[in-house]
Amino acid sequence: MDDLKGGPKKRKISREKAFGIAFPGVPYKALTFTKAYRTYELGRQNRIIYKQFMEADREEAGLWSGFVKHVTS
């Protein structure tokens, strides 16, 4: 998502527009997105948990629900 928003030399677009590009057809809900984004950022700060879930990829051990449990507990 941050890549879509652009850097210092790129034209920046709104978070809602970036969401629409990344997830076409999915309605943007600002509060839901913000909560999920904050959880993700919090999880990224704990490199061990983040690495564990990124390596699990699309396996059950890498599901978002498990990531949220680890980060918010």
Domains held by the chain: number? 1
Token representation of residue 31: 């509060």
**Whole-model pTM?**
0.63
47: Cα separation from own chain's centroid = 15
- Is residue 5's pLDDT more than 70? no
| Terminal-to-terminal C-alpha distance of the chain | 25
Per residue in 54-72, pLDDT tens? 999 889 988 999 999 988 8
Range of the domain at 33: 2-72
